[in-house]
């Protein structure tokens, strides 16, 4: 009876929330699907919109922090091409943390119990359908009907976002250890850590890409995802992690996070020994070709590619065959990965604060995107609710 009463109270709370917010305007960073130059202010703007209404299977989430990173800048750079390809006008923002503020009418009791109003959460950026062949074969990251938050579906550079409940994960274990604000700050990095976790430890067929503690690892690119790979690999017992990165400030951060060596890519030919794992977090296929040609990939190594850049390079197939190395593509954070990332963050074995360069407002985020003023680390956009 007690539980039913609590649910009734929560339900009344949600109704009164919508009654209160019905006419309230909330801010969102919108990218319009128009074939014009990215710098035109009319194309990219902070707008006031009504509070979004959750669909039957969705949660309404009050956003606390959203992550601004390389993916956002690339999205703006390629906006004209993507608009011509049919992508819609969207609210940007693919990774975030926030507080559940309401839910759709179709959510069952299990979901309502997991995500009561007030629950701190983060979410997967790939919104998978659950019905196509890959989804039904437990390969949801490669859904044939996928939508991507902030890319093809309204995202989280906004005061409110709606996301299917099946894509959301509670940050409560992190809140219990670090308090609410730190949990929300670090929870907004779940996109980078989730992708890094999948690159290192899991694949769709239940394998682990051959991960073994004691491995030697080379990371290409020390942006937020590359740094998250470094942080996770160190915490999970890698013997040595080395980094190739163009930007000196990022190389410095990589050393702070425990990289044994952080070099500019032009110094790649000075690297010694062989690597059990190569993780390309920046999109540098020519460097992978160079490593294969230089026989710097250990027998049975996995070479994981995470960056959607459209670049290509020619490989010597003989180098792959004679080493038994595998080229592996990795995208998304679905499959229970975010739950494990949250648990790892809660143990204190990771250093997420080193990935964050600064915290800015939504209006400043707009200016950065208009000026294409990138940052050497992750920028958090703090919303009025945080
Ligand atoms: Zn699917």
**ipTM reported for the complex surpasses 0.95:** yes
The answer to whether the CB of 245 falls within 8 A of the CB of 222 is yes
pLDDT at residue number 286: 92
CATH 3.30.465.10 fits 204-329, yes or no: no
Q: What is the pLDDT of residue 41?
A: 45
- Where are the domain boundaries for CATH 3.40.50.720 in the chain? 204-329
Q: Which residues contact 1 (CB under 8 A, 6 or more apart)?
A: none
Are 341 and 186 in contact by the 8 Å Cβ rule? The answer is no
Ligand 1 centre distance from Cα of residue 333 (Å)? 14
Rg of the chain over CA atoms, in angstroms? 21
Under DSSP, is residue 11 helix (H, G, I), strand (E, B) or coil?
A: helix
CA of 124 to the centre of ligand 1 (A): 14
Residue span(s) of the chain under CATH 3.90.180.10 come to 2-195+333-382
The strand pair at 126-127 and 58-68 is best described as unpaired
CATH number for the domain running over 2-195+333-382: 3.90.180.10
Cβ neighbourhood burial of 308 (10 Å; 0-12, 13-18, 19+):
exposed
How much distance in Å is there from the Cα of 149 to the middle of ligand 1?
Answer: 15
For ligand 1, the distance from its centroid to the CA atom of residue 268, given in whole angstroms, is 40
- Rounded distance between C-alpha atoms, residue 291 and residue 327, angstroms: 13
Distance 166 CA to ligand 1 centre (A): 13
User: Average pLDDT of each block of 10 consecutive residues along the chain (386 residues)?
Assistant: 51 55 83 67 83 96 95 82 80 97 93 94 96 93 95 96 97 96 96 94 69 94 96 97 96 96 94 94 92 92 90 85 91 92 96 95 94 82 80
Residue 354 tokens, joined: 């080193």
Residue 146 Cα, ligand 1 centroid: separation in angstroms?
Answer: 6
Q: How far is the CA of 164 from the centre of ligand 1 (A)?
A: 13
The closest alpha carbon to 116, from 15, 6, 210, 213, belongs to 6
How far apart are the CA of 127 and the centre of ligand 1, in A?
9
Structure tokens at 216: 């030697």
Write out pLDDT tens, residues 345-362. 999 999 999 999 999 999
CA of 129 to the centre of ligand 1 (A): 4
Confirm if 295 and 271 have CB atoms less than 8 A apart: no
Asked if residues 158 and 29 have their Cβ atoms less than 8 Å apart, the reply is: yes
Sign of CA dihedral 44, 48, 53, 59: positive
* Residue 89 CB neighbour total at 10 angstroms: 12
List for the chain the helix, strand, coil content (%; round to 5).
40, 25, 40
pLDDT digits (tens, 9 = 90+) for 190-209: 999 999 999 999 876 666 66
Separation of 167 CA from ligand 1 center, angstroms? 13
CA of 132 to the centre of ligand 1 (A): 4
Place of tokens 């590359």: 226
Bridge partner residues of 97 (DSSP): 65, 122
Burial 328-366 (b: 16+ CB within 10 A, else e): bebbbbbbebbebbbebbbeeebbbebbbbeebebebbb
pLDDT attached to residue 35: 62
Cα dihedral 301, 306, 308, 311 in deg (nearest 10): -30
How far, in Å, from the CA of 138 to the mean position of ligand 1? Answer: 9
pLDDT score for 261: 97
CA of 26 to the centre of ligand 1 (A): 31
- Give the CA angle between residues 222, 205, 139 to the nearest 5°: 80
State how far the Cα of 97 lies from the Cα of 188, in Å rounded to an integer.
Answer: 5
Sheet containing 90-91, strands listed edge to edge, beginning at the edge strand earlier in sequence? 44-50, 25-31, 90-91
CA of 136 to the centre of ligand 1 (A): 7
Identify the pLDDT of residue 221: 96
How far apart are the CA of 139 and the centre of ligand 1, in A?
8
CA of 72 to the centre of ligand 1 (A): 24
């Amino acid at each position: 009876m007690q539980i039913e009463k609590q649910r009734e109270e929560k339900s009344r709370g949600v109704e009164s929330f919508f009654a209160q917010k019905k006419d309230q305007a909330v801010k969102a960073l919108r990218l319009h699907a128009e074939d014009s130059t990215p710098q035109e202010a009319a194309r990219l703007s902070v707008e006031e919109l009504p509070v979004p209404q959750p669909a039957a299977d969705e949660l309404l989430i009050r956003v606390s922090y959203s992550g601004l990173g390389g993916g956002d800048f690339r999205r703006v750079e390629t906006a004209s091409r993507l608009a011509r390809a049919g992508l819609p006008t969207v609210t940007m923002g693919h990774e975030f943390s926030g507080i559940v503020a309401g839910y759709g009418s179709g959510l069952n009791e299990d979901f309502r119990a997991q995500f009561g109003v007030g629950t701190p959460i983060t979410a997967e950026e790939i919104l998978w359908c659950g019905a196509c062949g890959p989804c039904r074969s437990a390969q949801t990251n490669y859904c044939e009907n996928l939508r991507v938050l902030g890319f093809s579906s309204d995202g989280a550079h906004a005061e409110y976002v709606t996301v299917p409940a099946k894509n959301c994960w509670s940050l409560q274990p992190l809140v219990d250890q670090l308090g609410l604000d730190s949990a929300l700050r670090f929870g907004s990095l779940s996109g980078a850590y989730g992708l890094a976790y999948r690159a290192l430890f899991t694949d769709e067929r239940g394998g682990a890409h051959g991960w073994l503690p004691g491995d030697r690892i080379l990371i290409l690119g020390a942006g937020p995802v590359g740094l998250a790979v470094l942080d996770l690999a160190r915490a999970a017992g890698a013997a040595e992690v080395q980094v190739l990165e163009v930007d000196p400030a990022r190389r410095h951060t990589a050393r702070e996070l425990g990289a044994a060596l952080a070099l500019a890519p032009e110094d790649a030919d000075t690297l010694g020994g062989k690597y059990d794992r190569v993780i390309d977090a920046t999109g540098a296929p020519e460097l992978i070709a160079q490593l294969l040609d230089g026989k710097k990939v250990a027998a049975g190594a996995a070479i994981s590619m995470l960056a959607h850049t459209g670049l290509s390079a020619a490989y010597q197939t003989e180098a792959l065959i004679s080493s038994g190395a595998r080229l592996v593509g990795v995208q998304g954070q679905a499959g229970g990965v975010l739950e494990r990332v949250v648990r790892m963050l809660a143990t204190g074995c990771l250093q997420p604060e080193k990935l964050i360069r600064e915290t800015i407002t939504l209006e400043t985020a707009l200016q950065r995107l208009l000026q294409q003023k990138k940052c050497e680390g992750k920028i958090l956009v703090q919303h009025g609710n945080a």
